[in-house]
Amino acid sequence: MTGLSKLLLAGFLSIVVSGAYFASSDHFTDAVTTSTAFSSGITAPEKAVADSDTGSSTTTPNILPTQTGMVSRVIDGDTLELVGGEKIRLLLVDTPEVHSDKECYGPEASALTKQLVPQGTQVDLTYDKQRFDRYGRTLAYVSKHGTGESVNAELIRKGYASLLVIKPNVARQVEYAALEAEAKAERRGLWGAC
C-alpha cells in the first residue's frame, strides 16, 4: 500500500468512526472533528470560549445542529414563535421588556426584531449545548435562511439588546461581547437612550 493510499484509508476510517459516534451520541461538542459538514445540516464551526478564570479565549471544536423554520410572529425583541407554535428564545441576547414591565428601548427592540424577521420569514435555527430553557422555549441562534444574517448579533451590534450569558450556551459569547462593547462605546440604541 502506498503512502497516499494509507492516508486516504486513514481519512476514510476517521470519517466512518466520527459518523458512528455522532449517530449514537447526543454530545455533539465531544467531537474531534473541527470542520466537517454533514448532510443532516450539522456543521462544525470553531467555537471561541472565554476562560472565566483568566479572561483569555481559546478556539475549540464545536458541532452545532441546525434546522429551518418559518416565523409565525415576533413576541418581543428576544422571543419569536414559529409556524406550528414552537417558541424560540434568542441565545446570548436580552432585550428590554415590552409586556408586563415596559422598559426603556423595549418597543424599539421588538420593532427591530419584527423588521429583521417578519411573519413568514424562513429562518435557520442553530443550537448550542442546552436546547431548551426552564419555560420549554427552544434556545437558538437565529439567522435569515440562506443569507446567514444573524438576528442575535444584529440586535447586539445595533445596541437594541445586551449580552446575556447563561452557561453552558457560550459558543458565540466572545463574538457577541465584542459587538456589545462596540455598541456601548458608540452609545448605540439603548446604550445612548436609557
What is the tally of structural domains in the chain?
Answer: 2
Pairwise CA distance, residues 89 & 57, whole Å: 26
Question: Residue 94 is part of which domain span?
Answer: 66-193
- Rounded distance between C-alpha atoms, residue 63 and residue 44, angstroms: 4
Beta bridge partners of 141: 126
Model pLDDT for residues 46-97, shown as the tens digit of each residue:
333 333 333 333 333 455 668 999 999 999 999 999 999 999 999 999 999 9
Closest Cα to residue 45, out of 141, 132, 177, 113?
141
Q: Which of 61, 79, 101 is the last residue of a domain?
A: 61
pLDDT at 162 over 70: yes
Asked whether residue 107 falls in the same domain as residue 163, the answer is: yes
pTM, 2 dp: 0.68
- Catalytic site residues? 89, 97, 137
Cβ–Cβ contacts within 10 Å for residue 33, how many? Answer: 16
Residues 90 and 152: beta-carbon distance below 8 Å: yes
| Chain position carrying cell 414552537 | 86
* % of the chain at pLDDT higher than 70: 66
Task: Round the average pLDDT of the chain to a whole number and report it.
Answer: 75
Helix H or strand E encompassing 173: helix 173-185
User: Which of 45, 61, 77 is the last residue in one of the domains?
Assistant: 61
Higher pLDDT, 138 or 2: 138
50 and 99 belong to one structural domain:
no
**pLDDT the model gives residue 182:** 98
Overall average pLDDT of the 180-193 stretch: 97
Tell me: do 187 and 102 sit in the same domain.
yes
Q: Which residue has the higher pLDDT, 98 or 55?
A: 98
